[in-house]
Structure 1
Amino acid sequence: MAICNTQFRVDPLHNATHRRVLAALTMALAVSFGATVPFGATSPATAAGVKCQATVKVTNKKGASIKVLRLLYKVGGNTVYTEGLLNKVLTPNETETWSSQTLNNAATGVVVTSTAIEYRDDTGRGYGSPRTSEWFPHSFTCAPNHNYVHAIQ
C-alpha cells in the first residue's frame, strides 16, 4: 500500500483576506449590538465590571421651566461622558427622578468623580441653547443604591 505524502499549502493572500473579512464581520456585529468603544479600547470605568445603574434626581429651583437634557459625568479624569434624560420639562420647584439610569462609561464600584446636568432655559419663546449646571464632586463608588441629586439654580 502506498502512502501519499501530500502537503497542504496555505495561501498567505487568502489568509489575510480571510482575517480582514472576519474583522469586518466582528465590527459589524459589535456595532449592531450597540458597542460604542473600539475593540481593545475599554475605558477604565467599564473595565471594572457591570455598568452602574444609579438614580438621577433633578429639581428646578428657577423661576421658569427648564428642559432637562442629559446627565454629564466624569470618571477620574477630564473626559465628560453623557447619558440622555429624555428632554423632560420641569416647572419651577418640580423634581424628577430617573431610577436605574445606566451609566455606560461607569462600572458598579467605580467612583464617578463629578456630575452636572445639561438643560435649556424657558425663554418665553421656546427653550434656549444648552446650559450646564455647576459640577458637583463625588467620592463614593457608583452603585444601584446611590443618587446623583442636582438642584438647578
Structure 2
Amino acid sequence: MIDNNCTQPPPAPSTPETPLTPETPLTPETPLTPETPLTPETPLTPETPLTPETPLTPETPLTPETPEAPETPLTPETPETPETPETPETPETHSLDSTSEDEHFMDREYEHLGLIASGGFGEVCVARSNCDQKLYAVKIIPRYDQRGNDPHYQIL
C-alpha cells in the first residue's frame, strides 16, 4: 500500500543484475537496454537507442537516418495539364438564340394571357409557359433603337 505522505523510501536504482520496473526511477547512471521502456521523463542522449517503440516527441532530435519522402521532379515527359472535356459535335439551340426580329422567344415559349399593370418603366403581363404550363408575371420594358425612336420590347 502506498502512503500518500511519501514516507516510503524510494526504490533502489537498478543494476545490470536488477531488472528495471515501472517503479524504478531512471537516472543518468541507469543503463538503458532494449528492454527498458522509454518515458517522457527519460533523457535522450546520443547513446540512447531509438527503437520503433520509442515515441517521438518535439524534444526528440531528428537525425540524418530519418527517412525523407523522395522528390519526383517534373520533367517534360510528365507535364501537368488539366483534362479538357470533349465538346459536343452539335451545339444545343436555345430559345434566346433567335435571329429573327419578328420571332421573339416570348412568342414561342409563352402564351400572353393579358395585361396586369402598366407604368413608367413598362408593362407587366400574365403569360403561360408552353414548357411547364405554369402562369408567370412578365415585365416588358420598351427598348429604343439607336436613333431614339421605334421602340422594341425587352422582356425581363
TM over 0.5: same fold? no
Q: Which has the higher contact order (CA 8 A, sep 6+)?
A: 1
Normalising by the residue count of structure 1, what TM-score does the alignment of the two structures yield?
0.20
Higher relative strand content: 1
Q: Looking at secondary structure, tell me which structure has more helix per residue.
A: 1
- With normalisation by structure 2, the TM-score equals 0.20
Larger radius of gyration: 2
